[in-house]
Amino acid sequence: MSPTLGGQYRKGATGFGRVLLAGPCPSKGHHMVLPALPDIDRIKQRIQAPDYRDWRKKVEDVYGCLHPVRLSGLWEIADKTSGDVLKSHGGHIFAPCGNRRESVCPACSDRYAADAFHLLRAGLSGGSKGVPVEVADKPRLFVTLTAPSFGPVHNRRTTATGKHAPCRCGRYHHEHDPQIGQPTDPGSYDYTRHVLWQAHVGKLWNLFTKHLRRRLARAAGLTVRDFADHARLSYAKVAEFQRRGIIHLHAVIRLDGPNGAVDTTPAWGTPELLADAVHAAHTATHVEVKGFELDGAAVTLAWGEQLDIRPIRPADAHQVEDGDGTISDDRIASYVAKYATKGTGKSEAADRPIRSRTQIELLRTTEHHKQIMRTAWDLGAPIACPDCHPHGEHHPAGCACASIDHCATCDNGGLIPGPLDELNLRRWCHMLAFRGHFLSKSRAYSTTFKQLREDRQIWRFEQNLAELGVTADTVTVINHWDMTSVGHRTDEERELAAAIAERTRAARKHRYNTERKD
């Protein structure tokens, strides 16, 4: 406690209370007693504020979003002929932030997961979102593509009989042991290949789908050019971060007719043929890192040896998986949509871009994940200009840059982009070098996120028209809003919004469990 400003408890007329003692009074030589600081319940104070009900209604309208966008403006429905305002709303409103990460905003993450579920479900079972029910009878596979090993890590292994086996370190790890996924020998772990592989997952997937089409065309006796006239490959994939900080891809792959879901699959298209083509494409997919060598040799990347291929049976199944390993589409959409919002999580990486190498050291994460980010940051660094600094660094005593008035190579900056500049490793450092989308799909698989959002807007608009007893061709809609700020004003508001989001989620889960019969 400071000698000039401290706290003591003294008894007064109303009992004991905490008072602050300032430094000695220069004129009298004794301490000056300041009034006691009251203990304020700021959450209670916010709830008792006059504008609390209005604020709460705005938060409930965005389901407890933790980073709402504050908008100011006007919305009106007016009669097209008379100009009379039939319904209006003006002032300040909240709009959801739309972040898909649960660690950033649980409310918006739930909405994204729900949209992902409907998007995936429509492509699996049909009967909604413009996808016919016949897709359930088409050849469909649930495929998991894994990453190779970059060094042994602690894990929780099981035997064929389901019993737990000891880890390489000789210990039995608990399910939530923070050591799981961490290298057993960090010094020998290949962080460079780890980062390079992670940054090339998108290219690996694109090459995989190209090889898959070629294998299907060859099996059907077609050329690659003619394949599009007979069949189409449709898919939806989602990325999942493993505990070791590496991506696995889960994909629903479907074989359609040439016009997509509305077309009948050719007679030669069978689940067995599709599975064989996936195996062949998995083996044939390789990517070479351009302009970069490791230990004097080019770096070639490929999928891991583990490949899981499971046929998806029709939509009337009641189990996620039967004894034969066949997976159903009854709940697969929920299983896949979960990973669309999982992200890396606060315990593994960062939720926002990294601005400096020093920032990595301040993150609350494991040393393993920090080292992945350090490696990505260093690999993405610019290099010394070969014309200004031919020896790789600046020499104050005498350097080539001193004799150059203007360097066209680096524009006198002294640095040029490194060989891996196109990978944007520093930009995606917070994602452990993963640069792709967590959920993506082919054009003909099913509907889109944009269409799902537009469907909600149309539904709300039609509800307003029905309430007013008018039709769309008789009214004019005025909708003008300007952004004023982002986020809640205080920590207390944020905490209350989080409670609203949690209660909304609990109510939705209860309703879902009550209504669901499968």
pLDDT digits (tens, 9 = 90+) for 151-206: 999 888 777 777 888 888 888 888 888 888 889 999 999 999 999 999 999 999 99
- Mean pLDDT computed over 398-416: 75
Confidence of residue 29 (pLDDT cuts 50, 70, 90): low
Residue bearing the bigger pLDDT, 212 or 101:
212
The length of the chain is 518
Looking at the predicted structure, is the pLDDT value of residue 448 above 50?
Answer: yes
Secondary structure of the chain: what % helix, strand, coil (to 5)? 35, 25, 40
| Cβ-contact 248, 147 below 8 angstroms | yes
Reported pTM: 0.79
Segment (H or E) for 468:
helix 449-468
Tens-digit pLDDT profile for residues 1-15: 444 444 444 444 444
pLDDT at residue 345, as a whole number = 43
Q: What is the 3-state secondary structure (H, E, C) of 189-248?
A: CCHHHHHHHHHCHHHHHHHHHHHHHHHHHHHCCCCHHHHCCCCEEEEEEEEEECCCCCEE
Residue bearing the bigger pLDDT, 332 or 471:
471
CA dihedral 209, 211, 212, 213 (to 10 degrees): 90
* Residue 144 backbone dihedrals phi, psi, to 5 degrees: -115, 120
Residue bearing the bigger pLDDT, 430 or 162:
430
pLDDT at residue 1, as a whole number = 42
Q: Two tokens at 148?
A: 């190779």
Residue bearing the bigger pLDDT, 80 or 344:
80
Residues facing residue 31 across a β-bridge = 24
Confidence of residue 27 (pLDDT cuts 50, 70, 90): low
Give me the chain's average pLDDT, please.
Answer: 83
pLDDT at residue 513, as a whole number = 67
CA–CA distance from 287 to each of 200, 205, 361, 424 (Å)? 8, 10, 32, 17
Residue bearing the bigger pLDDT, 40 or 322:
40
Helix (H/G/I), strand (E/B), else coil: 60: helix
Q: How far is CA 88 from the centre of its chain?
A: 36
Alpha-carbon distance of 115 to 341, in angstroms, equals 11
DSSP one-letter code for 101:
-
Confidence of residue 330 (pLDDT cuts 50, 70, 90): low
> First-to-last CA distance in the chain?
63
pLDDT at residue 91, as a whole number = 87
- Mean pLDDT computed over 61-85: 91
Confidence of residue 300 (pLDDT cuts 50, 70, 90): very high
Tens-digit pLDDT profile for residues 451-501: 888 988 899 999 999 999 999 999 999 889 999 999 999 999 999 999 999
Looking at the predicted structure, is the pLDDT value of residue 244 above 50?
Answer: yes
Lowest mean pLDDT among 203-207, 218-222, 319-323, 333-337: 319-323
Looking at the predicted structure, is the pLDDT value of residue 320 above 60?
Answer: no
- With a pLDDT cut of 70, the percent of the chain lying above it is 83
